[in-house]
Structure 1
Amino acid sequence: MKIHNNKRIFSSKKTNLYTLTILMAASFILASCKDTPLPLGNAAESSVATAENATAPVSFWVATDTHYLDKDLQDGGEAFQAYVNGGDGKILPYSDELMEALVYDAQQKKPEFLILSGDLTNNGEASSHKKLAEKLKRVEASGTDVYVIPGNHDLNNPWARSFKADKQIVAEHITPGDFTELYSDFGYNEAISRDKDSLSYLVQAAPGLYLLMIDSSQYANNESYGFPQTDGRILPSTLSWMDECAKLAAEKQASIITVMHHNLLSHTSMSVSGFKLNNSQETMKTLRKDGLNLVLSGHIHMQDIARDPDGTTDSRDTPVYDIATSAMAVNPHQYGEMSFDPVTRAVTYHTAAVDVEGWAKANGNTDPHLLAFKSYAEGVFAGQSYNKAMARLKDSTFSESEKQSMAKVMARLNVNYFAGTAANALDEIKSMPGYKLWMGMDGGFMSGYIQSMAEDKVLSNVSLDMVLTQPKSLSN
Structure 2
Amino acid sequence: MRNRIVLAALLAVVCMLAGCSFKGTVPESTSAESASPQETETTNAEPPTIEEVPQTSESPAQEPAEESFKDGCKILVATDIHYLARDLTDFQKGFQYSIDHGDGKVMQYIWEITDAFVEEVKAEHPDLVILSGDLTYNGEKESHKNFAEKLGEIEDAGIPVIVIPGNHDINNPLAAQFVGDTFLGAENITSDEFEEIYQDFGYNEAVSRDPSSLSYVYQVNDYTRALMLDTCQYEPKNLVGGMIKDDTYDWIEDQMEEAWNLGMNVIPVGHHNLLEESEVYLQDCTIEHGEQLIDQLESWEVPLFLSGHLHVQHYMRSGSDSGIYEIVTSSLSTPPCQYGVLYYGNDGNFRYHTKSLDMKGWAKNTGSTDKNLLSFDEFGKKFLSRVFYNQAQDEFKRLDTFKGLTKYQKEQMAKVYSELNTACYAGKVVDIRDKAKAKAGYKMWEEEGYPSILAQYLEWITSDGTKDYNTLSSE
2:324 paired residue number: 320
Larger mean Cα displacement after TM superposition, 386-395 or 372-381: 386-395
Q: 1:182 and 2:192 equivalent?
A: no
**Which aligned pairs between 1:309-388 and structure 2 lie closer than 5 A?**
309-311=319-321, 318-342=322-346, 344-388=347-391
State, as a whole percentage, how many aligned pairs show the same letter: 36
2:155 paired residue number: 140
Structure-1 separation of matches of 2:403 and 2:280 = 22
Q: 1:442–1:116: structure 2 CA closer, same or farther, 3 Å change rule?
A: closer
Specify the SS of the correspondent of 2:213.
coil
Unaligned runs of 5+ in 2: 1-66
Deviations 1:269-302 (A, max 9, x none): 2254200011111111211223223110111111
C-alpha contact (below 8 Å) 1:55/1:207 kept by paired residues: no
* Residue 301 of structure 1, aligned match among 304, 308, 311: 311
After TM superposition, the score normalised by the length of structure 2 is 0.82
Structure-2 separation of matches of 1:340 and 1:292 = 13
1:393 paired residue number: 396
Higher Rg: 1
C-alpha contact (below 8 Å) 2:242/2:272 kept by paired residues: yes
Q: 1:161 and 2:161 equivalent?
A: no
Structure-2 separation of matches of 1:142 and 1:367 = 28
Give, in angstroms, the shift of residue 393 of structure 1.
Answer: 2.9
Specify the SS of the correspondent of 2:432.
helix
2:271 paired residue number: 261
Taking only aligned residues, the RMSD between alpha carbons, in angstroms, comes to 1.9
1:97 paired residue number: 112
Structure-1 separation of matches of 2:156 and 2:261 = 32
Q: 1:246 and 2:272 equivalent?
A: no
Deviations 1:121-172 (A, max 9, x none): 0011111111111110111112221010001110111211111223422111
1:37 paired residue number: none
Deviations 1:405-453 (A, max 9, x none): 1111111101100110001211221222212222223622222111111
Structure-2 separation of matches of 1:458 and 1:449 = 15
C-alpha contact (below 8 Å) 2:428/2:465 kept by paired residues: no
C-alpha contact (below 8 Å) 1:243/1:290 kept by paired residues: no
2:287 paired residue number: 277
Structure-2 separation of matches of 1:195 and 1:205 = 18
Structure-2 separation of matches of 1:435 and 1:442 = 10
C-alpha contact (below 8 Å) 2:88/2:176 kept by paired residues: yes
Q: Which amino acid aligns with 1:400?
A: K
Deviations 1:153-199 (A, max 9, x none): 10111211111223422111111111111111111111010000000
Q: 1:421 and 2:428 equivalent?
A: yes
Deviations 1:371-404 (A, max 9, x none): 1111112211100111221232344322222221
Q: Which amino acid aligns with 1:79?
A: G
Structure-2 separation of matches of 1:246 and 1:464 = 24
Q: 1:81 and 2:91 equivalent?
A: no
1:474 paired residue number: none
Larger mean Cα displacement after TM superposition, 125-134 or 268-277: 268-277
2:23 paired residue number: none
Q: 1:436–1:166: structure 2 CA closer, same or farther, 3 Å change rule?
A: closer
Structure-1 separation of matches of 2:117 and 2:341 = 12
Structure-2 separation of matches of 1:123 and 1:393 = 28
1:234 paired residue number: 244
Structure-2 separation of matches of 1:172 and 1:382 = 33
Q: 1:168–1:390: structure 2 CA closer, same or farther, 3 Å change rule?
A: closer
1:63 paired residue number: 78
Q: Which amino acid aligns with 1:437?
A: M
1:471 paired residue number: none
Structure-2 separation of matches of 1:261 and 1:101 = 23
Unaligned runs of 5+ in 1: 1-51, 223-227, 312-317, 468-476
Structure-2 separation of matches of 1:128 and 1:271 = 28
Q: 1:405 and 2:420 equivalent?
A: no
* Residue 123 of structure 1, aligned match among 96, 120, 138: 138
Give, in angstroms, the shift of residue 457 of structure 1.
Answer: 5.3
Q: Which amino acid aligns with 2:201?
A: F
Number of aligned positions between the proteins: 404
Give, in angstroms, the shift of residue 336 of structure 1.
Answer: 0.7
Q: Which amino acid aligns with 2:361?
A: G
Q: 1:387–1:110: structure 2 CA closer, same or farther, 3 Å change rule?
A: same
Structure-2 separation of matches of 1:256 and 1:69 = 32
C-alpha contact (below 8 Å) 1:62/1:335 kept by paired residues: yes
Q: 1:442–1:332: structure 2 CA closer, same or farther, 3 Å change rule?
A: closer
Deviations 1:63-97 (A, max 9, x none): 11000001111010122122223321211111111
After TM superposition, the score normalised by the length of structure 1 is 0.82
C-alpha contact (below 8 Å) 2:93/2:180 kept by paired residues: yes
Specify the SS of the correspondent of 2:333.
coil
Q: Which amino acid aligns with 1:360?
A: A
C-alpha contact (below 8 Å) 1:71/1:95 kept by paired residues: no
Q: Which amino acid aligns with 2:162?
A: Y
